[in-house]
Structure 1
Amino acid sequence: MHKLFFTALLGLGLNAQADTLSEFKSTLQRLQADSPLKGQISVKSEVRSNEGKDDAETEQGLAALPFEDGQPGLRLQYPQALLSKAQSERQARDANPKAAAPTHAGLQLLEYGTVRELTRPAELLARHVQRGSFKGERSDNWQGKPAKVLSFELPMGKPNKYVKSFENILEVWVGPEGQPLAARSRYKLSGRAMMVFSFEQQGEDEWQFAVVGERLVALRKTSQSSGSGGGEKGVTKRDFTLSLS
Structure 2
Amino acid sequence: MNARIYKTKVDAICGHHDRAGRSIERNMPAILGYWKIRGLAQPIRMLLEYYGVEYEEHLYGKEDQEKWLDEKFNLGLDLPNLPYYIDGNVKLTQSMAIMRYISEKHGTPVGSTPEERAKLSMIEGAAMDLRMRFGFISYFPNFEEQKVEYLKELPRTLKMWSRFLGDHHYLTGPTISHIDFLVYEALDAIHYVEPHCLDEFGNLKQFMSRIENLPQIKKYMGSERFIKWPLHLWRATFGGGDEPPF
TM-score for the superposition, normalised by structure 2: 0.24
Query: Which of the pair has more CA radius of gyration?
Result: 1
TM-score for the superposition, normalised by structure 1: 0.24
